[in-house]
Structure 1
Amino acid sequence: MMKIWNSAVGLLIVTGTLLGLTLPFGKVAGEAGVPPVIWAMLISVGAGTVLYLAMLARKERLGLNAGHLRYYAISAAISYAIPNMITLSAMPHLGAGYMGIMYTLSPMFTLILSVIFGVRKPNALGMAGIVVGFLGALLVATTRGEAGFPASLTWVGIGILLPIFLAAGNIYRSWDWPKGAGTTELAVGSHLAAGIMLLVVAVMTGNLPALAMLAEVPALSIAQILSSAGMFVFFFRLQVVGGPVYLSQISYVAAAIAIISGTLLLGESYVFLTWFGAVIILAGVVLTTKAQTS
């Protein structure tokens, strides 16, 4: 366990796998009638509560100064509340595998934002990767989701917002990491803040009574809470060990889990151009990843 805790590769595999489970879990929950805002709230409140209990058992405290509160609020919005709402809302229209492909775009957008905000200087390899990745993304976008069930361009556009928010979260969390803060502490604060945000959305949209529907999928709900809680412990540790760009590569593992589960377990299918576009995106991501070390 200690080897994984200090290994960027090990953390990447564990975090990406647990993240990838959110997609098939979310699709099954949606098919059972659970609204996206309720499932997203379950993810954040469930994970935040489990991790907070772990903190209490270790007699750790949650930082509540201005820097911590700012971090919790901003990280909650751009890293969890909004991305989870996008994923769970778009997935019924685009498919779990398709949304998994959207995850793979986050390293490319992370590099773009790194360049824009001066975290990194642009180089030829990185720019080539961005161009190739965008070409692949455009190709995937034209297929508009599962074969035989084309989604509207509006849903495709919403799906593409996912990697943009994930990339923004990757950059922000490293840039504004509170001094001396621990990984579990930040996971707890961010997720409880996201849970509060989603609770407000549920009340405003009239979806709060649908909380009762979680009782109809108890095993799935528990599995989601446990996988989310575990994922975010490793997620914040990977942020420390690997940095924002390396962290963004959890999207590869998550996409693989989503595509495999979507096609083999959920009966999804995609046309050749979707797969071809995914390969082109992967090539672009390989270039942008190499650019980080050149």
Structure 2
Amino acid sequence: MQSPALLLVITGFFLGLTFPFGKLAHTQGLSPIVWAWWVSAGSSIGLVMIRAVTGRSIRLEPRYVQFYFLSCIVALVIPNLLIFSVIPKLGAGFTGLLITLSPVFTLTMSSILSVRVPNRLGLAALAIGFVGAVIVALTRGEVTQPASFGWVFAGLGIPFSLAIGNVYRTMAWPDGAEPLELATGSNIAAALVLLMVVWLHPEASLPGGLLSVSGLAFITVVASTCMFPFFFQLQFVGGPTYLSQIGYVGAMVALFVGTVFLSERYSWITWAGAIVIFLGVSLSARSMKDQDNG
């Protein structure tokens, strides 16, 4: 599949399911660390099965292994641990909104690293996105359970870490590597890193309640396994900033599911901030398109 727009919608849809699924896992008493490990481990199994069916393995050359582990730490391990930790405090929908800041952070890092320097419209987008982030952050999550600013600050680490991953994968993508191959290797690396975290954490252990939510665990892994091939394919054909826009779709899915199915409630200020963020990221996307055409 080579259509960036279609890849964006599909990847964003599966990403949006991550947040309500994570909240449901928390309500069943699962540790964020254990749940993050399961998502990566289960996805690894699914992706390895896909590779086996196609008769292809994953390369273990040093540059590939380095890519797997560095990519997984900044784009999978850190974001997932933060996501599943802050969702109980901020709500699934609110956490999804924070992901929409990833394009702004990605554009900023790209310009700092001279990967892509923003034009005037891009700079305006950064300013507008920042204003929206401040508005959303001040509401501190759900109306019924406002969180401390510490949790909001932790939540902002999610799009920041994702942005690092977006830029890194483009800069370090091995020549001739297949998207599915890198998706598989990165998830295996993430599962290994998170397994070590589980082993070292005094309050986390396996299976950690996973057996009691086997249905939810299975559905989550299916969604995650479906997402990653599209995710890495989108990175390959669209680049870091276009990929980062999956947060738009993911936020809409998370807000819809959180509001309709999980009874989450957000103030009008949160929704106003969301609109400002969408305006900022839309201008960000427009600026990137103008630069590509120019």
What TM-score, normalized to structure 1?
0.97
The more displaced of 97-106 and 53-62 is: 53-62
Question: What residue identity is the alignment partner of 1:184?
Answer: L
Q: Is it true that 1:6 corresponds to 2:2 in the alignment?
A: yes
Q: Tell me the residue number matched to 1:237.
A: 233
Q: Tell me the residue number matched to 1:135.
A: 131
The offset of 1:57, in angstroms, is: 2.2
Q: Is it true that 1:62 corresponds to 2:63 in the alignment?
A: no
Question: What residue identity is the alignment partner of 2:25?
Answer: A
Unmatched 5+ stretches in structure 1: none
Query: Could you tell me whether the CA contact under 8 Å between 1:125 and 1:291 is conserved in 2?
Result: yes
The offset of 1:148, in angstroms, is: 2.8
The offset of 1:122, in angstroms, is: 2.6
Q: Distance in 2 between matches of 1:72 and 1:109?
A: 22
Q: Distance in 2 between matches of 1:219 and 1:105?
A: 32
Match of 2:282 among 276, 283, 286: 286
Q: Is it true that 1:115 corresponds to 2:138 in the alignment?
A: no
Question: What residue identity is the alignment partner of 2:277?
Answer: I
Unmatched 5+ stretches in structure 2: none
The more displaced of 8-17 and 208-217 is: 208-217
Deviations 1:45-80 (A, max 9, x none): 111111112212222121111110110010000000
Write the mapping of 1:91-110 to structure 2, written as runs, cut at 5 A: 91-110=87-106
Query: Could you tell me whether the CA contact under 8 Å between 2:69 and 2:186 is conserved in 1?
Result: yes
Once superposed, which parts of structure 1, at least 4 consecutive aligned residues long, lie more than 2 Å away? 206-210
The offset of 1:211, in angstroms, is: 1.5
Q: Is it true that 1:177 corresponds to 2:173 in the alignment?
A: yes
How many equivalent pairs are there?
290
Query: Could you tell me whether the CA contact under 8 Å between 1:26 and 1:88 is conserved in 2?
Result: yes
Query: Could you tell me whether the CA contact under 8 Å between 1:38 and 1:207 is conserved in 2?
Result: no
Q: Distance in 1 between matches of 2:118 and 2:239?
A: 18
The offset of 1:208, in angstroms, is: 4.4
Query: Could you tell me whether the CA contact under 8 Å between 2:135 and 2:270 is conserved in 1?
Result: yes
Please state whether the residue corresponding to 1:292 is helix, strand or coil: helix
Match of 2:209 among 188, 207, 213: 213
Deviations 1:242-286 (A, max 9, x none): 111111111111001100011110010011111111111111111
Match of 2:121 among 122, 125, 136: 125
Percent identical pairs in the alignment equals 43
Deviations 1:180-237 (A, max 9, x none): 1111111111011111111111111134434241111111111011110110011111
What TM-score, normalized to structure 2?
0.97
Query: Could you tell me whether the CA contact under 8 Å between 2:31 and 2:208 is conserved in 1?
Result: no
Q: Tell me the residue number matched to 1:48.
A: 44
Q: Distance in 1 between matches of 2:287 and 2:2?
A: 24
Question: What residue identity is the alignment partner of 2:198?
Answer: A
The offset of 1:107, in angstroms, is: 0.6
Q: Distance in 2 between matches of 1:282 and 1:227?
A: 25
Q: Distance in 2 between matches of 1:101 and 1:56?
A: 36
Please state whether the residue corresponding to 1:211 is helix, strand or coil: coil
Query: Could you tell me whether the CA contact under 8 Å between 1:107 and 1:288 is conserved in 2?
Result: yes
Q: Distance in 2 between matches of 1:183 and 1:51?
A: 12
